[in-house]
Structure 1
Amino acid sequence: APGLPGPCGGGQSKGLRRGMYKPYIACVDTQLCEFQSLEADEAHMACYNVSAELWERLPGLQSLTHASCTSAGDTIYVSGGVYRSSYSSAVHEFSSFRSQWCPLPPMAVARAAHGFLCHNQKLYVLGGWRKYHSFLNSTESLDLATGKWTAIARLPFPLSHSASSVFRDKLYLLGGARDITSGWLFHRGILIYTISSDEWTQVPLSTGFLMIKND
């Protein structure tokens, strides 16, 4: 993913021509690994060098679990997560030009296992949880041009661990979990957010499921 940083210091990647960058495929896995001591190690991040056909280490963040990851063009974003039993509100952008993570303005609400999307130069964080039994319905949007966060319409109910996607100026949350009592309470449906009207629509499904995301 070729690119120049935004807040990392200077410009966009569209001025680069082939030969001025190397194509990579990035792998970001911030889910909890039973065999990994995340109190000491970095979250597992790597990139595949297409030309050399080799995996290389991608400089990591601190030891996050259940953070959310999204991308837009040649830019990768990571938000929230859990670090040393503390829930994070941090947001980072990865500069492939400098090979480093650069901080963006933090979210108003610390969260993990949330929906996270980028569309039209804005980041959207949707739901998630702040403690094991504390699910969130709060939502926020970051304007990357101004660096300002804005609250948007809340989810119809608290939701975490859903799959998220963007299509034709609408945001989609598929499945996920609504609560944990004796077990997971799955969401049987799709939530659709219309950006222009700042409204959520619910579309029911016959079954519910939990999405485990490895971006």
Structure 2
Amino acid sequence: MKKILVILLLAGGLATATRAQGHWQLIKSTNKVAPRSECSLVVVEGKLYLIGGDGPARPVEAYDPKTDSWAQKAMAPFTMHHLQAVGLGDKVYVLDAFYQGGYPDQVPLPNVYSYDTKKDNWQKLAEIPAERRRGGAGEAVYNGKLYIVCGITHGHRSGTNSMFDCYDPATDKWTSLPDAPHIRDHSMAVVVGDKLYAIGGRNTSLHDADNFMSFFNKVVLDVDCYDFKTGKWSTLDAKLPMGTGGGTAVNLNNKIFYIGGERATDTQPNGPQKDVYCLDPAKDTQWQKVADLNQARNGVGGTVLNGKIYIAGGGGGPGGPPPPNGGKPGANPPPNGPPPGGNEGDIALEVFSLK
């Protein structure tokens, strides 16, 4: 009997030690917001702003956690999707997005745009050099300047790259910087301390002869790091355990959280994922699996507010199927059709807490 008790205690302790940390909770706001995917979620002065999304031009939607409600704001000047918008001061900035053309021939934005949360309007800013325009890139803020890394220049056909650029909103000028070590698109960027991390994504430019959509399993596991102090790139030893394209990434308590996205494998067709991984870049040598999302998501927006991670939107939400034939032989792009993937219900706001 004592041996059995010891075994049970040990098993219970092991389960506690290996249990994924944190938890995700779906938030039922007082009002619903129409679903959207390939969007971005940004915090500005205590409110969440949902920006962009596939389909026609979308209004900005602002969520106030104090009232648990959404408010519709200014309409975007045109479609903006496949972006990681960033907040600085009282504005939201967009340095990369697709705005014209049908899948797989989307065209990237020709200019930087900002949304003023005080005036509730959009402003057209500096022209982006033609050869540096792209969508599906990672964006981040450091010391009052905006940075964009990687992306894809020609929709979902070609042009996956490792380009790295800086936009200074004070001067409205664009500067090219040294390329990252790895090419990737449908990826994210996160700043922790004095370093920027290029994370996740895939190489959408790779198409098999009999399967245009074979890019779904061409994920990038390497994490590249740019040191602002030295101006040099390096690649971490810690690789993502499972890669995805179209995930989101945030900095919570100086730790990087990589969330969701889509992927295919040799045995499974493409589909949205629930996986969430965490890395403390100051000391960790490998990523830690934390609590899964309640709903699998791709093209989801994510941000941090009051010590918690918020995500919203994304394909694969309530009733949202994985892309048709994703990762299967013979899967070719519909001419001028919508991108693969889908979503039903509302934007499904979800929050992660470590406690």
Q: TM-score, normalised by structure 1?
A: 0.77
Instruction: Tell me the residue number matched to 2:69.
Output: 54
| In structure 2, distance between residues paired with 1:153 and 1:165 | 17
Identity %: 20
Of the three residues 221, 227, 238, the one matched with 1:194 is: 227
Partner amino acid for 1:103?
A: K
Matched, 1:118 2:141: yes
Structure 1 residues 157 and 24: CA distance shift in structure 2, 3 A: closer
Inter-CA distance 188–51: structure 2 relative to 1 (3 Å threshold): closer
**What displacement does 1:51 show?**
5.5
1:70 to 80, 86, 102: 86
Q: Partner residue of 1:14?
A: none
Output the CA distance in 2 between the equivalents of 1:67 and 1:43. Answer: 14
Partner of 1:155: 180
Structure 1 stretch displaced more, 179-188 or 163-172: 179-188
Report the secondary structure of 2:222's partner residue: strand
Residue of structure 1 equivalent to 2:96: 80
Q: CA deviation at 1:50?
A: 4.8
Partner of 1:175: 200
| Alpha-carbon separation, structure 2, partners of 1:188 and 1:49 | 35
Distance 2:58 2:85 in 1: 12
8 Å Cα contact 2:61/2:70 also seen in 1: yes
- Equivalence map 1:89-168=2 (5 Å): 89-108=110-129, 109-131=132-154, 132=156, 133-168=158-193
Distance in 1 of aligned mates of 2:90 and 2:124: 17
Give the SS at the match of 2:110. coil
Which consecutive unaligned segments of at least 5 residues does structure 2 have?
A: 1-44, 102-106, 208-213, 248-298, 303-355
Cα deviation digits, residues 58-85 of structure 1 (max 9, x gap) = 2132112213311134321122211221
Structure number with the higher strand fraction is: 1
Q: What is the Cα deviation at residue 44 of structure 1? A: 4.8
Cα offset, 1:53, TM superposition: 4.1
Following the alignment from structure 2 to structure 1, what is the Cα–Cα distance between the partners of residues 161 and 53? Answer: 19
**Match of 2:233, as an amino acid?**
W
Alpha-carbon distance in structure 1 between the residues aligned to 2:192 and 2:111:
26
Residue aligning to 1:26 = 49
| Higher normalized helix content (fraction of residues) | 2
Alpha-carbon separation, structure 1, partners of 2:182 and 2:198: 12
Matched with 1:209 is 244
Aligned to 2:264: none
The Cα of 1:120 is off from its aligned counterpart by: 0.7
Once the 2 structures are TM-superposed, how far is the Cα of residue 24 of structure 1 from its aligned partner? Answer: 3.4
Q: Pairwise CA RMSD of aligned residues? A: 2.2
For 1:88-128, what per-residue CA distance to the aligned partner results, in whole angstroms no more than 9, with x for missing partners?
13211221221111222132221101011111111111110
SS, match of residue 155 in structure 1:
coil
1:43 and 2:58 matched: yes
Deviations 1:5-27 (A, max 9, x none): xxxxxxxxxxxxxxxxx963322
Q: Which moved more, 1:182-191 or 1:201-210?
A: 201-210
Supply the AA of the counterpart residue of 2:112. Answer: V
Aligned residues: 186
Contact 1:152 1:198 in 2 (8 A): no
Q: 2:125 and 2:141 mapped to 1: Cα distance?
A: 14
Aligned AA for 2:220? H
With over 3 angstroms needed to count, the CA separation of the structure-2 counterparts of 1:121 and 1:158, relative to structure 1, is same
Contact 1:104 1:147 in 2 (8 A): yes
